[in-house]
Chain A
Amino acid sequence: MLTKRIIPCLDVKEGRVVKGIQFVQLRDAGDPVELARFYDEQGADELVFLDISASHEGRKTMVDVVQAVAAELAIPFTVGGGIHTLDDMKKILRAGADKVSLNTAAVNRPELITEGADFFGAQCMVVAVDAKYDEDCATWVVYTHGGRVKTDWKVLDWVKEAVRRGAGEILLTSMDCDGEKKGFDIALTKAVSTAVTVPVIASGGAGGASHFSDIFLDGKADAALAASIFHYKETSVAEVKAYIKDKGVYVR
Chain B
Amino acid sequence: MIAIIDYGMGNLFSVSKALERLGEPYCITNNKNEILSADGVIVPGVGAISDAMRLLNETGMADVLKDYAASGKPILGICLGMQLLFEASEENGGCRGLGLLPGTVVKIPGVTIQGEKYKVPHMGWNLLQLRRQSPILKNVEEGFAYFVHSYYVTTENEEIILADSLYDVSVPAVVGRNNVFGTQFHPEKSSMTGMEILKNFTVLVSERVSVK
Contact = CB atoms under 8 A, between A and B. Distances in A.
B150 A223 contact: no
Contact of A197 (B48, B80, B92, B119): B119
Contacts of A223: 124
Contact of B11 (A74, A96, A117, A252): A96
Interface stretch (A25-33, A121-129, A206-214): A121-129
Interface size, B (range): 35 or more
Interface stretch (A1-9, A11-19, A140-148, A153-161): A1-9
B126 A2 contact: yes
Q: Classify chain A: how many residues form its interface, as a range.
A: 35 or more
A93 B46 CA distance: 9
Contacts of B192: 74
Interface string A102-130: 00000000000000011111111000000
B53 interface: no
Nearest to A74: B191
A169 B125 contact: no
Contacts of A77: 189
Nearest to A95: B13
Given A70-B14, A94-B13, A123 B126 contact: no
Contacts of A205: none
Interface stretch (B33-41, B58-66, B141-149): B141-149
A99 interface: yes
A119 B127 contact: no
Nearest to B92: A118
A98 B189 contact: yes
Interface in B1-50: 9, 11-14, 17-18, 21, 46-48
Given A120-B46, A121-B47, A198 B121 contact: yes
B123 interface: yes
B187 to A, nearest CB: 9
B197 to A, nearest CB: 12
Contacts of B190: 74
A237 to B, nearest CB: 13
A221 to B, nearest CB: 12
Contacts of A94: 11-13
A75 interface: yes
Interface in B120-172: 120-127, 144, 146, 148-150, 166-167
Given A98-B186, A222-B119, A123 B149 contact: yes
Given A74-B191, A124-B46, A98 B14 contact: yes
A177 B21 CA distance: 40
A77 B12 CA distance: 14
Contacts of A199: 119, 121, 123-124
A73 B195 CA distance: 12
Interface centre among A98, A121, A122 (most CB of B within 10 A): A121
Contacts of B48: 117-121
23 contacts: A2-B123, A70-B17, A73-B14, A74-B21, A74-B195, A75-B189, A93-B46, A94-B12, A95-B13, A98-B148, A98-B186, A119-B9, A119-B47, A119-B51, A120-B46, A121-B48, A122-B150, A124-B47, A169-B123, A198-B121, A199-B119, A222-B123, A222-B124
Given A117-B48, A123-B121, A199-B119, 5 more contacts: A2-B123, A75-B191, A119-B47, A121-B47, A121-B80
